Structure 1
Amino acid sequence: MRFVLLCLSLTLFASPSWSQEEIGLAAPEDVARSGLLKHILPRFSLKTGIRVVADDAGAMVLAVGPPGQPVFQRGGDIYHLRIQDETRQARFQDWLMSDVGKRTVESFAPTEGDPFSASFETVAAPESDAIEGDALLGEKLSLTHCGRCHVIGPQNRMNGLGSTPSFAVLRAMPDWSNRFQAFFALNPHPSFTQIEGITAPFDPERPPPIHPLMLTQDELDAILAYVSVIRAADLGAPLKLQ
């Protein structure tokens, strides 16, 4: 009997499917608070042996609006899943898009608010707003370089500076495109920002006060592409700029 129990224990602990490193999933506060993740993530893990956990700094990101794969809807919001080029993350996305995954999402009954639906139609963003470029790369660059001060999304919503507007707030401004295209010339950015082939080198007598932000023109284009497709914050009445 002891031999059987020992073999069973060794089998469980040696199982490759459960010994893999867990994958983090960052989600908006309303989704996390609803309890949906506690409903779907254990079911996916039980089915596949791939452990996905809620994590504000996760490699996978759920967010309202593109970029990413639209996976479910609540009220008027369509949530998109953004993943990296990784097999287990792709499997989670495929599961959410499968009939089983959709039924799992729709079987969840939140105690408050609207139910979630996995059956919906997406509407492409107006071409006049979308900027061509690698939006997924732009999201990563934004988190790395701009996330030190700005809230980019749910991944770093607790890390931005209180005096610094989030990307969603900046996106809501009528001149958001001009602001992002020329951000390196707007204070306080010139003192620590270099855009390859555009900005002049730092003055040796006035070094950057913080770790410098270094970007190529292609990387700046990627950030612009990302910002062009994120959802703008609802600020109520139109902004009056001075």
Structure 2
Amino acid sequence: MRFALLCLSLVLSASPSMSEEALGVASPDEVARSGILQHILPRFSLKTGIRVVADEAGPMEIAASGPGDPVFQRGGTIYHLRIEDDPRQQRFRDWLLSDIGKRTVEGFQPQDGAPFSASFEVVAAAEIHEVGEKAALGEKLSLTHCGRCHVIGPQNRMNGLGSTPSFSVLRALPDWLDRFQQFYALNPHPAFTQVDGVTPPFDPERPSPIHPLSITLDDLDAILDFVAAVRAADLGAPLQFQ
């Protein structure tokens, strides 16, 4: 018994990832009941040494709609993985989207119901109506300045941060225009955004933590034209309170 405990201690000390706190991933009831998480999570942990467990309070979430990265499909539902800006969570996402991750998903045979598929065509939520020259410029500016965090449309649907709302989701909010007009004043944008003639220069003692985003009011106006042409995501009916 002592020898077994000693071996376990040596394994954990030699593998920092395994000794770290497990990452939790929440999921809808139909996913949790299917057993697919019990199939894929241990295989990911064995492959990478990063423990991921089913946990409704976890920082990662598998949801029946975007935003997030589409990872598998069952029936007519495409499930999306939402993660935070964390290297271990990004490793899990990348594994799920890899060939081995997809084969692992499709290798699961549920006791009840249809199998899961990791091979499907995603219809982008951010459909764009025909736009004019100004809105086309706004699309380019959005991809250049905002695409590193937000999904702008089909062009960068795999590049945005899972925890950051897409433009189509933001467009569905009733105050979307105010949000975009004043984005530079809304966190976390003030830390790295400069609007010519509007925002003050960065404090030399508190420089931008990332490559600064610098635009003009004309640029912002073009972005607003583009966002106005983005088809809003369907966020479902509002909650009804009794």
Tell me which amino acid in the other structure corresponds to 2:33.
R
Q: Read off the aligned partner of 2:107 and give its amino acid letter.
A: S
Give the aligned partner of residue 175 of structure 2. Answer: 181
Cα 1:7–1:71 shift into 2, 3 Å: same
- CA–CA distance in 1 between the matches of 2:8 and 2:42? 22
Match of 1:106 in 2: 106
- What letter matches 2:34 in structure 1? S
Alignment match, 2:96: 96
Q: CA deviation at 1:10?
A: 3.4
Corresponding position: 1:10 with 2:9: yes
Q: What is the SS of the residue equivalent to 1:33? A: helix
Aligned to 1:82: 82
Any idea what SS the aligned residue of 1:117 has?
coil
User: Is 1:39 aligned to residue 16 of structure 2?
Assistant: no
What is the CA distance between 1:9 and its match in structure 2?
Answer: 4.2
Q: Judge conservation of contact 2:26–2:58 (CA < 8 Å) in 1.
A: yes
CA distance in 2, matches of 1:9, 1:63: 35
Q: What does 1:214-233 align with in structure 2 at a 5 Å threshold?
A: 218=186, 228-229=232-233, 231-232=235-236
Q: Aligned ranges for residues 145-164 of structure 1 at < 5 Å? A: none
* Post-superposition offset of 1:127: 3.5
What CA distance in whole angstroms lies between the structure 2 residues aligned with 1:98 and 1:28?
A: 23
Is the alpha carbon distance of 1:230 and 1:111 closer, same or farther for their aligned partners in structure 2, counting shifts above 3 Å? farther
Deviation at 1:7, TM superposition (A): 5.2
Q: Could you say which residue in structure 1 is the equivalent of 2:50?
A: 50
Q: 1:230 to 1:49 in 2, by over 3 A?
A: farther
Contact 1:45 1:51 in 2 (8 A): yes
Q: Gaps (5+ residues) in structure 1? A: 140-175, 183-194, 199-215, 220-227, 234-242
Match of 2:209 in 1: none
> C-alpha displacement at 1:112, in angstroms?
1.6
Q: Distance in 2 between matches of 1:49 and 1:9?
A: 14
Give the 3-state SS of the residue equivalent to 2:90 in structure 1.
helix
Cα shift at 1:98: 1.2
* Count of residues in Structure 1 that have an aligned counterpart in Structure 2: 167
C-alpha distance after superposition, 1:76-132 (max 9, x if no partner): 11111111111111111111111111111001111222110000001112337xxx9
Q: CA deviation at 1:62?
A: 0.9
- Return the letter of the residue paired with 2:58: G
Does structure 1 residue 29 correspond to structure 2 residue 23? no
Cα distance, 1:63–1:6 mapped onto 2, change above 3 Å: closer
| 2:128 paired residue number | 127
CA distance in 1 between counterparts of 2:79 and 2:93 reads 12
Question: Aligned partners of 1:138, 1:69: CA distance in 2, in Å?
Answer: 12
Q: Which amino acid aligns with 1:53?
A: V
Tell me if structure 2 keeps the 8 A contact 1:67–1:229: no
Q: Structure 1 pair 88/230, CA: closer, same or farther in 2 (3 Å)?
A: farther
Q: Does 1:61 align with 2:57?
A: no
Is residue 67–residue 230 contact of structure 1 (8 Å, CA) maintained in 2?
A: no
d(CA) in 2 for partners of 1:138, 1:127: 17
CA distance in 1, matches of 2:56, 2:66: 18
TM-score in terms of structure 1 length = 0.55
- CA distance, structure 2, for counterparts of residue 69 and residue 37 of structure 1: 17
